[in-house]
């Protein structure tokens, strides 16, 4: 983007940066809950409360950049995704494999089954990139249809999948979560189908991003506040992850979230968050390997520490380490290679994802 576009759409970076930091916070909380006892209950509750704001936002914002990528032509589109999505997916799968093997050799900790079959099934948090690979391929052909057909088809597929699996194959909808306080988490096929709706909706609205932003800015503030109140109240109710109610409230919450992110004074005060948004791919793929190493260091150094203090230390280590990686990726080609194949030195994380 040019300077004007960058200023005009700083809200995208703000939302993306906030969402990816919430992801790092969530995984820091999970890591602490495995090693320590006594973590404040409200941290886990808050993490679950924010779940509908994290990945739906990241998927929607990725979709907003879809048409911009497709306009470059089919060859550049697919080569860009190979370099900027498939490449870090492969690299960080093997980084995780090496780290777990080192833990197995040095600490005797077992290798996680979720690593295998390697690359065919995404490791843990890399499901996000896995989904994006699928979505970009499908969207390239689906968006040849005129109008709102892509999000309509995505919604129909989701509703059909949810209806069938909830009745006949619940194991394809929810699986036990590693954190017992959470209970259950969506299965990979459910994530692929459900989050496609957010991506395709973003792609459709992104076909004319200026018009979409103008119409969003024209929504009456009372409607925005009403939707915000409805979403805040709705997420206090017990609901199944990726259920129709969950999806509906997540979709509605996008409106007040985007309007809030567009507020001028808020953008002026959140330069650091916007920078994190522009480096989102680095922060996202780098934070779990950092946590795998840092949690062992923190636990060995502070085995009797208060769980809440350990959480703050671990989160700060993970976030600051990823920010350093992002800073280095803009300056050193060897670091940049971890996140993209042969990308220009000045390219930001968001630009890499846009391809």
Helix (H, G, I), strand (E, B) or coil at 174: strand
Mean pLDDT taken over the chain: 88
In terms of residue numbers, what domain contains 170? 3-354
Q: With contact defined as beta carbons under 8 Å apart, do 200 and 142 qualify?
A: yes
What is the DSSP secondary-structure string of 329-348? HTT-HHHHTTT-SS--TT--
Phi-psi region of 38 (alpha: psi -120 to 50; beta: other; left: phi over 0): left
What confidence score (pLDDT) does residue 3 get? 43
pLDDT at 238 over 50: yes
pLDDT at 115 over 60: yes
pLDDT at 263 over 50: yes
- Total domains, the chain: 1
Q: What is the pLDDT of residues 197-207, one digit of tens each?
A: 999 999 999 99
45 — pLDDT class (breaks 50, 70, 90): confident
What values do phi and psi take at 20, rounded to 5? -70, -30
pLDDT at 184 over 90: no
The C-alpha atoms of residue 90 and residue 331 are separated, in whole angstroms, by: 22
The C-alpha atoms of residue 162 and residue 29 are separated, in whole angstroms, by: 29
Q: What is the pLDDT of residues 318-350, one digit of tens each?
A: 999 999 999 999 999 999 999 998 755 555 555
Q: Is the model more confident about 176 or about 335? A: 335
Cis peptide before 117 (omega within 30 of 0): yes
pLDDT at 114 over 80: no
What confidence score (pLDDT) does residue 14 get? 95
183 — pLDDT class (breaks 50, 70, 90): low
106 — pLDDT class (breaks 50, 70, 90): confident
What are the tokens at 341?
A: 């194949």
Query: How many angstroms separate the most distant Cα atoms in the chain?
Result: 60
The C-alpha atoms of residue 196 and residue 151 are separated, in whole angstroms, by: 8
pLDDT at 7 over 70: no
Helix (H, G, I), strand (E, B) or coil at 176: strand
What confidence score (pLDDT) does residue 246 get? 87
pLDDT at 353 over 80: no
The C-alpha atoms of residue 348 and residue 111 are separated, in whole angstroms, by: 34
pLDDT at 2 over 50: no
8-state DSSP, 50: T
pLDDT at 355 over 90: no
The structure's pTM equals 0.90
The C-alpha atoms of residue 195 and residue 318 are separated, in whole angstroms, by: 26
């Amino acid at each position: 983007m040019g300077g004007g576009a960058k200023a005009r759409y700083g809200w995208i970076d703000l939302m993306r940066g906030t969402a990816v930091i919430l992801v790092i916070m969530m995984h820091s909380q999970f890591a602490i809950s495995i090693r320590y006892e006594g973590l404040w209950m409200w941290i886990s509750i808050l993490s679950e409360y924010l779940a509908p704001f994290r990945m739906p936002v990241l998927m929607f914002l990725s979709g907003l950049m879809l048409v911009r990528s497709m306009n470059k032509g089919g060859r550049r589109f697919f080569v860009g995704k190979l370099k900027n999505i498939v490449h870090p997916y492969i690299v960080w799968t093997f980084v995780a494999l090496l780290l777990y093997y080192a833990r197995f050799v040095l600490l005797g900790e077992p290798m996680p089954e979720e690593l295998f079959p390697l690359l065919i099934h995404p490791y843990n948090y890399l499901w996000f990139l896995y989904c994006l690979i699928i979505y970009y391929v499908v969207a390239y052909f689906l968006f040849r249809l005129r109008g709102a057909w892509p999000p309509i088809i995505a919604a129909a597929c989701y509703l059909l999948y949810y209806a069938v699996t909830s009745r006949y194959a619940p194991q394809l909808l929810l699986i036990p979560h590693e954190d017992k306080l959470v209970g259950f988490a969506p299965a990979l096929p459910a994530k692929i189908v459900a989050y496609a709706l957010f991506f395709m909706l973003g792609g459709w609205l992104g076909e004319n991003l200026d018009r979409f932003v103008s119409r969003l800015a024209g929504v009456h503030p009372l409607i925005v506040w009403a939707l915000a109140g409805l979403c805040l109240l709705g997420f206090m109710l017990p609901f199944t992850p990726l259920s129709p109610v969950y999806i509906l409230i997540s979709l509605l919450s996008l409106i007040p979230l985007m309007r809030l992110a567009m507020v001028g004074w808020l953008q002026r005060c959140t330069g650091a968050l916007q920078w994190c948004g522009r480096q989102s791919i680095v922060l996202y793929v780098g934070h779990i390997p950092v946590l795998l190493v840092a949690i062992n260091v923190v636990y060995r150094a502070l085995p009797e520490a208060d769980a809440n203090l350990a959480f703050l230390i671990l989160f700060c280590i993970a976030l600051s380490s990823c920010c350093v990686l992002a800073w280095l990726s803009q300056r050193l080609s060897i670091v940049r290679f971890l996140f993209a194949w042969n990308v220009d030195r000045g390219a930001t994380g968001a630009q890499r994802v846009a391809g």
